[in-house]
Structure 1
Amino acid sequence: MRIVTAKEFQDWLSHGEVLEKDSHGAKVIRLTDGKLLKIFRSRRLPLLARLRPDAARFDDRARRLQAEGIQTPTICETCWIDRDKLVSACLYEPLAGLPLDKLFRDNRDQFDTLLPQFAAYIYLLHQRGIYFRSLHLGNILRTPEGHFGLIDFLDIRFKGRPLGGTLIRRNFQHLRNYLQRRKVQNFPWEELMTAYRAASKSSS
C-alpha cells in the first residue's frame, strides 16, 4: 500500500465533498472524479493494524462478497493516510443505488412491496455463511437493476457454512437495535420475519 502525501490528502479534503465525518474528522469523501474515499482509523492493536490495515481488510471482504455474487463497491486502491496513526483508506467506485433507509422514509409503499425480496436477500446472506453485524437499512442498497448490494462491511464475517439459529437471531437483533437507536417508527418487523421464514421454506 502506498503512503498518500500530506499535499494529496489535503487536495482531496479541499476539493472533495465530505459525506460522513465524526469527531476525528472526515470518514467518507466524494472526490471530483466521482470516486469515494473511505477513511479507516483503526482501533485494533497497532501491530495487527499495521500488518493488516483496515483498508486492506475492507478490500478483501469486497472481493470475497463479489465472489459470492454479492454486489459491493469496486475498490480501485488501498493506501495509508497516516501509517503512524493507523489511518488507512480505500478509493472506490460507488455502488449505484438507493439506501433502504431512504426508501423506507421517502417511499414506504415501495419499501413494503420490496419486503419479501429484502427478507430473501438476508436469508441468502445467512445461507452463504455471511454474518453481517452491521446489518441495517443504511448499509443495503437497492440497485437500479432491481438487486441489492452492501456498502459498509468491514465487520462482516464468513463462517464457511450456513448460519445457525443463534447467529441468525443475533443478526436480526443487530437490525432491531439499529431501528431502536434511530427511533424508527412503524417498521414492519413481523412482516419481515414472516417473509424470512417464507424464504427459508421456499428454499427447502
Structure 2
Amino acid sequence: MHRLSQKELDGLTENAAVLESDGLGAKVLKLNDGSFLKLFRKRSRWSSETLRPYARRFAENARDLQRLGFTSPEIIQVYALPGPINATAVHYWPLPGKTLRQALSQSSPEQRRALVERFGELLAKLHEAGVYFRSVHLGNVLVLPDGQFGLIDLADMRIGRFPLSLGKRQRNLKHMRRYAEDNRWLFEENRDALRAGYSRPAPRKAQQLFPG
C-alpha cells in the first residue's frame, strides 16, 4: 500500500468528477484519465479495517476473482490517504457496460429471461468457487459490451477454498430479495430461469435452493 502525501492526493484528484458521495464526502471519483478512485473512510478509530483496510480487500478480491476466471476491475494501486483517520483508497480501471439491473429494465420479457438464466449460472459458479459476495445484487453485476458479466463493488466479499454451504447460498439469495425490483425479476417473473441457470454448475444445490 502506497502512502500518499496531501500534495500527491491533490494532484491525483485535480479536476476529478465525483460519482458517489455520502455525509463524509466523496466516495468514488472519476479521474482525468478515466480511472476511478474509490475512498474508504473509517467511522471509528479501531475496527476490523485497521488490520485489513477495505481498499486492500477490494484489490485482493478483484485479483482473486480474475485468478478464478471471473471478470473484475483492473487494479492500479492501493493508497493510504493523508489525515488523522487512516482512510484508504483503491485506484482502478472501471469495467465498461451497464448494470444488470439497467439491462433488465431495458429488455423484453424474453431477453430478461435469458439474462436471468445466465445470471443464475454466474451465481452458482461463484458459490462453487467459494465466493461469498455478501452484498450481491443486480446493481453490482455489469453486463459488458461483449455480453459477458463483470463484478464490481468488491470490498464486501469473502473467497474461501471450498464451495459455499447451503446456508450461505440461501443468505445470498435472501439478500437479493431485499430489493423490490430484483425480487420481482429474479424470484417472481423469472424464478424458473434463475433455477435453470443455477442448475448447470450446481444441480444438487439448485434442488435444495429452488424446490418444486
Length-normalised TM-score, structure 2 = 0.84
RMSD: 2.3
Aligned residues: 201
Moved more, 6-15 or 51-60: 6-15
Work out whether residues 2 and 79 of structure 1, in 8 Å CA contact, stay in contact via their aligned partners in 2: yes
Q: 1:38 to 1:108 in 2, by over 3 A?
A: farther
Work out whether residues 49 and 86 of structure 1, in 8 Å CA contact, stay in contact via their aligned partners in 2: no
Work out whether residues 131 and 164 of structure 2, in 8 Å CA contact, stay in contact via their aligned partners in 1: yes
State the identity as a percent: 36
- State how 1:125-204 maps to structure 2 within 5 Å: 125-177=126-178, 179-180=179-180, 186-203=184-201, 204=203
Whole-angstrom CA distance in 1 between matches of 2:23 and 2:96: 28
Q: Displacement, 1:144?
A: 1.2
Moved more, 51-60 or 132-141: 51-60
Whole-angstrom CA distance in 1 between matches of 2:135 and 2:186: 19
Q: 1:68 to 1:58 in 2, by over 3 A?
A: same
Q: Displacement, 1:97?
A: 1.7
One-letter code of the match for 2:34? G
- State how 1:37-48 maps to structure 2 within 5 Å: 37-43=37-43, 46=46, 48=48
Extract unaligned runs of 5+ from structure 2.
Answer: 204-212
Length-normalised TM-score, structure 1 = 0.87
One-letter code of the match for 1:175? M
Whole-angstrom CA distance in 2 between matches of 1:196 and 1:164: 19
Question: CA deviation digits over 1:59-86, x for unaligned, max 9?
Answer: 1111111110111000001111136312
Whole-angstrom CA distance in 2 between matches of 1:138 and 1:201: 23
Work out whether residues 42 and 49 of structure 1, in 8 Å CA contact, stay in contact via their aligned partners in 2: yes
Secondary structure at the aligned position of 1:131 is classed as strand
Question: CA deviation digits over 1:168-200, x for unaligned, max 9?
Answer: 1100111111x14xx668434145442343234
Counterpart of 2:207 in structure 1 is none
One-letter code of the match for 1:170? R
Secondary structure at the aligned position of 2:117 is classed as helix
Question: CA deviation digits over 1:105-132, x for unaligned, max 9?
Answer: 3335433331111111111111111111
Whole-angstrom CA distance in 1 between matches of 2:183 and 2:62: 32
Q: 1:202 to 1:91 in 2, by over 3 A?
A: closer
Q: 1:196 to 1:159 in 2, by over 3 A?
A: farther
One-letter code of the match for 1:57? R
Secondary structure at the aligned position of 1:19 is classed as strand
Q: 1:202 to 1:139 in 2, by over 3 A?
A: closer
One-letter code of the match for 2:144? T
Whole-angstrom CA distance in 2 between matches of 1:3 and 1:45: 18
